[in-house]
Structure 1
Amino acid sequence: MNNQLRNFILISIASLCFIANSASAESYLVIGNGANKSTMKNMTKQANKIGARVTNVIAEAGVIVIEASPKQAAKMTGVMAVVPNIKVQMTTPSERISVQAANPPNTSDDDSFFDRQWGHDAVNAPEAWEAGVRGKGARVAVLDGGFSVNHPDIADNVVGAADMTGEGIEYGPNEDDPDGIFSHGMHVAGTIAAADNAFGTIGVAPEAELVLVKVLGNNGTGSFEDILEGIIFAADFGEVDVINMSLGADIPQGLGVDASLVASLRVVMNRAVAYAYKKGITVIVAAGNDGRDLNADKSMVVFPADMPHAISISATGPEGWGYDPTTDLDTQAIYTNYGRSGIDFSAPGGDYELIETNPELAFSGCAVGGAVRVCYVWDFVFSVGSDYNGIWYYWSIGTSMAAPHAAGVAALIVGENGGQMHPAKVKAEMQRRADDLGQPGKDAVHGNGRVSTGY
């Protein structure tokens, strides 16, 4: 990568990779043959019999979490599987382009950074707002890293928050972000529902409510236990219409990884997503950033994007938008996963292809909304950062940024229809309104189309 890029860029592609070690060397998920009271009772009895300590019960997914030695865990009987409480690791680059909210430029919108948000134009969000469709009556749960719940861009829309990691809900300094300003979770939440309050940015659904659920630690890692528990918490919170998960794990099939482990994790993750679905919640997830053809390459299972009831989102982006605002906003992002069987919709996630195709332009200056930055950064998605040390905003790219654009559109649809829509109906309406890009019908890059408000 160009040294100049290293000095300026924060690429949070938010791809999560498989880590073979467990969340704790002795932490296991005991997966039952079903998710019912008798199964849970039997698993707990078994755990006590072998001398293991039960640390958590996620009954809705048919799982108990135990601390035990490998020899003890191997003695469990009458269960589907006993597997390590696997961690996932989010990509956390050390470079960044960020901006502190101090004397922001005046723009045509009263949210001072709106002019930087090309993704909203791509999905026709402003047209929906003008028609009075702003997400009121919809509630979105964001499962991600830490959150600054008092950040002025989202505080008015936050109705609940919970921490599954033990760190506390706030995002803070860590080895990858010593200043504590990055906050992947805030970027996602702001894209969905930053308030229309004459400050900072604005979300796709600026009047939707937010439930913030921390399932990844400040360093970007999280266990399957925390993610499962986060899904169940969001499903049970009450009146949640949409869950956004800009996270996932690529777990290899074969390559020395026990196939039964992959199959067992698929079962338990599917139970959790299906539980939310049956509660009437539309589950939207990032498709991943490995540039893989999910039809041709079956070497990995992508959790939770592979789950039947999850809506998987690929990423699009412009090339040179800061230089030419009329440029196409819907090109396939260079990093995004694709494939007809693996992608439901595409959405704005940003791109860095300009660096490859036109480096001279990429590193020249481009002015947008009164701010001058290197041109390539304007092709990224601009959103909220932490308020740990000031009020921060920053640019980022990835299917992690695409998913919240789709979740925002889903929230607008739910709000427009008075709330409480069955997820199948939400998906059908998303498909009806989507722009059919690429090959006619469902295609490998955009799935059923690039999401749109339809206005």
Structure 2
Amino acid sequence: MSRTTRRTRLTAGLAIATLAVASLGTSTAQASPLEEAGPLMNYVVNTKANPGHSMLAERAVEAAGGSVVQSWPQIGVVIAQSTNPDFRADVRTGLFGRFVQSAGATRTAAVSEGPATAGATTGDAAKGEASVEAAPVLDPRESEQWDMAAIKADKAHEITDGSRKVLVGVNDSGVDDQHPDLKPNFDAANSVNCVDNGRPDTTPGAWRPNGSHGTHVAGTIAAARNGVGIVGVAPGVRIASVKVVNTDGFIYPEYAICGFIWAAEHGMDVTNHSYFIDPWTFWCNDNGDQGAVQEAVRRAVNFATNKGVLSVAAAGNANYDLANKTTDNSSPNDTTPVTRPINAGCLDMPTELPGVITVASTTKTGARSGFSNLGLNVIDVAAPGSSILSTIPDGKYGVSSGTSMASPHVAGVAALMKSAHPYWGPRELTRALHKQADDVACPTAPVDARCTGTTAENAFFGEGLVDALDAVKR
């Protein structure tokens, strides 16, 4: 089908949808004010992925006493707000309700950031500064980075530091773009803040950090080779801050969805997700809130993958077997946790969603980090995550541990791989990450019965320890 034909059909579809809205609107009575308003809540409202159905779903939101915060017609997801305690049911009734496939609250506590403000996306972001290719010399604290040697990043750097054409999104708590080890590689033009109810805010500096986590992750991925501090796995690529963590430390679904769509539409090759989506440790595919949210986030990840973005995520730090789920006693974490039974239909998001690379953590000795989640056929690869030195805000450096620290090593390796093979997409990168990983056997002393599988692929290390040197060999 030609571009002209597709454009003509899209225009015609929009016209038909507009007529449908107008026609339906003439027979719809104005919603009466709610007698008893509840707390302000955010919802995902799922419809078919096209502009016409998205417009009709927006009408359903308004008819149910809600307001549209952000609409993503690319994936058929509308983010809505309402104080109507019956919103989830009401949005699926009436003339417009038939265009709603599912709807669910994104949290169990009231919206902390308050009502969404109009025009949250304002202005153009400041342009990132160009950097000059640095000479291949050791940075002052590179000798302290045991993790780089463990994945052979030091050997890979003898071949390449990565390409400036490759862009990695740090979907996290924000990045200190003025840190001397990050400033040379920071891309401000493609950075964004998604924590205003999931609306993209490109105000210059809105992507800056509200904690140290995102800056630490960014340094592991791409701290510059510039004679200062440390060096990242891919010190020659660009990084952008996609802020998805609010000041209270929560990553709600609407933030994450915004981040995935932003990355897909701003030319990112790889994104790192060192978080799980709040408030549920596991989102279950039920017919209620969690099922609707799971579907909305799945669509966002799939959209990003189809746009050429490889998503890499931390496996989690609960020492939990993701392949054998039984109970969850830590959710919801924004109100009062309850103990509940869970099963394979309950997913740690985004790490367990299709198309996402799930990363476990290892120690300096090569063992599985005691905190790292595990799971046969869930873990893709492993990487160093215990006692990792990296950048933190205000030009400083610090040591942190977690699968949050392991995941950016894999994102960096994928960025090196993309640099060496620019025409590879997410599927080719995934296959190569699996194939090139160094096999790691299950521990024999002491034996841990949870490490099922073989040396080639097991519950602790997946396909093995990621290999940066193999990633850059053509």
Q: Does residue 402 of the first structure (1) align with residue 406 of the second (2)?
A: yes
The residue that corresponds to 1:429 in the other structure is 432
Q: CA deviation at 1:302?
A: 0.2
The residue that corresponds to 1:386 in the other structure is 393
Cα-to-partner distance string for 1:413-436 (whole Å, 9 max, x where unaligned): 11012x242111101111222101
The residue that corresponds to 1:147 in the other structure is 175
The residue that corresponds to 1:322 in the other structure is none
Q: Which SS does the other structure have where 1:164 is aligned?
A: strand
Cα-to-partner distance string for 1:348-382 (whole Å, 9 max, x where unaligned): 111xxxxxxxxxxxxxxxxxxxxxxxxxxxxx011
Q: Which one-letter code corresponds to 1:59 in the other structure?
A: P
Determine the C-alpha separation between the residues in 2 that align with 1:268 and 1:423.
20
The residue that corresponds to 1:202 in the other structure is 231
Q: Which SS does the other structure have where 2:324 is aligned?
A: coil
Q: Which SS does the other structure have where 2:80 is aligned?
A: strand
Determine the C-alpha separation between the residues in 2 that align with 1:190 and 1:116.
14
**8 A Cα contact 2:283 2:294, kept in partner:** no
2:141 to 105, 113, 119: 113
Q: Does residue 445 of the first structure (1) align with residue 460 of the second (2)?
A: yes
Determine the C-alpha separation between the residues in 2 that align with 1:420 and 1:73.
43
Cα-to-partner distance string for 1:297-354 (whole Å, 9 max, x where unaligned): 2535200111011111011112xxxxxxxxx2x100001110112111111111xxxx
1:169 to 175, 188, 207: 207
Q: Which SS does the other structure have where 1:251 is aligned?
A: coil
Distance 1:308 1:252, change over 3 A: closer
Q: Which one-letter code corresponds to 1:268 in the other structure?
A: A
Q: Which SS does the other structure have where 1:231 is aligned?
A: helix
The residue that corresponds to 1:190 in the other structure is 219
The residue that corresponds to 1:317 in the other structure is 363
Q: Does residue 266 of the first structure (1) align with residue 294 of the second (2)?
A: yes
Q: Does residue 125 of the first structure (1) align with residue 153 of the second (2)?
A: yes
TM-score between both structures, scaled by the size of structure 1: 0.74
Q: Does residue 35 of the first structure (1) align with residue 35 of the second (2)?
A: no
Distance 1:284 1:253, change over 3 A: closer
Determine the C-alpha separation between the residues in 2 that align with 1:59 and 1:251.
27
Determine the C-alpha separation between the residues in 1 that align with 2:265 and 2:67.
26
Q: Does residue 251 of the first structure (1) align with residue 251 of the second (2)?
A: no
Distance 1:344 1:429, change over 3 A: same
Q: CA deviation at 1:111?
A: 1.4
Distance 1:142 1:278, change over 3 A: same
Q: CA deviation at 1:259?
A: 5.6
> Unmatched 5+ residue regions in structure 2?
1-37, 93-97, 110-135, 327-341, 442-453
Q: CA deviation at 1:294?
A: 1.3
Q: CA deviation at 1:109?
A: 5.8
**8 A Cα contact 1:146 1:171, kept in partner:** yes
Cα-to-partner distance string for 1:377-410 (whole Å, 9 max, x where unaligned): xxx01100011xxx21111111110000000000
Q: CA deviation at 1:133?
A: 4.8
Q: Does residue 45 of the first structure (1) align with residue 59 of the second (2)?
A: yes
Select between 60-69 and 148-157 the one with higher mean Cα deviation.
Answer: 60-69
Q: CA deviation at 1:258?
A: 6.0
Cα-to-partner distance string for 1:138-165 (whole Å, 9 max, x where unaligned): 2111100022111111111112311112
**8 A Cα contact 1:147 1:170, kept in partner:** yes
Determine the C-alpha separation between the residues in 1 that align with 2:108 and 2:241.
21
TM-score between both structures, scaled by the size of structure 2: 0.72
1:332 to 323, 346, 368: 368
Q: CA deviation at 1:42?
A: 1.4
Distance 1:213 1:51, change over 3 A: same
Determine the C-alpha separation between the residues in 2 that align with 1:283 and 1:253.
19
Q: Which SS does the other structure have where 2:90 is aligned?
A: coil
The residue that corresponds to 1:364 in the other structure is none
Select between 79-88 and 157-166 the one with higher mean Cα deviation.
Answer: 79-88
Q: CA deviation at 1:252?
A: 4.3
Q: Which SS does the other structure have where 2:251 is aligned?
A: strand
Q: CA deviation at 1:45?
A: 1.2
The residue that corresponds to 2:331 in the other structure is none
Determine the C-alpha separation between the residues in 1 that align with 2:58 and 2:289.
21
Cα-to-partner distance string for 1:11-51 (whole Å, 9 max, x where unaligned): xxxxxxxxxxxxx9422323223222222111111122233
Q: Which SS does the other structure have where 2:191 is aligned?
A: strand
**8 A Cα contact 2:44 2:292, kept in partner:** no
Select between 241-250 and 285-294 the one with higher mean Cα deviation.
Answer: 241-250
Q: Which one-letter code corresponds to 1:169 in the other structure?
A: W
Q: Which one-letter code corresponds to 1:171 in the other structure?
A: P
Q: Which one-letter code corresponds to 2:430 in the other structure?
A: K
Q: Does residue 82 of the first structure (1) align with residue 86 of the second (2)?
A: no
More strand by share: 1
Q: Which SS does the other structure have where 1:165 is aligned?
A: strand
Determine the C-alpha separation between the residues in 2 that align with 1:151 and 1:302.
32
Quote the sequence identity (%).
30
Determine the C-alpha separation between the residues in 2 that align with 1:431 and 1:230.
26
- For the pair shown, the structure with the greater C-alpha radius of gyration is 2
Determine the C-alpha separation between the residues in 2 that align with 1:409 and 1:121.
13
Q: Does residue 307 of the first structure (1) align with residue 356 of the second (2)?
A: no
Structure having greater relative contact order (Cα 8 Å, sep ≥ 6): 1
Determine the C-alpha separation between the residues in 1 that align with 2:180 and 2:239.
14
Distance 1:210 1:420, change over 3 A: farther
Paired residues in the alignment total 358
1:287 to 309, 315, 320: 315
Distance 1:227 1:87, change over 3 A: farther
**8 A Cα contact 2:283 2:290, kept in partner:** yes
**8 A Cα contact 2:175 2:209, kept in partner:** yes
> Alignment RMSD, CA only?
2.2
Determine the C-alpha separation between the residues in 2 that align with 1:209 and 1:252.
32
